[in-house]
Structure 1
């Protein structure tokens, strides 16, 4: 009997951790999508040098995402803009 209770506790903890990770993924998708839209609309020539370097780092980070993740991120932001409009 204690074995079943321990397994149930482990399953419950894993479920909670999965829910936390899924919420965090949604937040990260939102940030990545907003960053992608920001970079796409950015005129880097008008930025100070230090900001241009940060924009380049951000751009490289976005480019390193998988196509599926970037698509999900952009879809999340698109949905956010539609809801707010």
Structure 2
């Protein structure tokens, strides 16, 4: 069985996307821990799972898919950060 060779730029971009996703997952789990009730806590935990699922679906050889996912994760992370500062 052969393995597809991933160009360095895609590899670096994929790694960077995973770092942003990791930060977003941490923010979701922090929100879950801070939640005032079980329903809200579970919602944040499910958001964490959604990010995990999305990372798993990104093709590591498709630079546009990687960039799109990274942009989405970064946008959501920024929104959570802004919401947290306002609270």
State the TM-score bracket (shorter-chain normalisation).
Answer: 0.3 to 0.5
TM-score normalized by the length of structure 2: 0.39
Greater gyration radius: 1
TM-score by length of 1: 0.40
- Report which of the two has the higher share of helix: 1
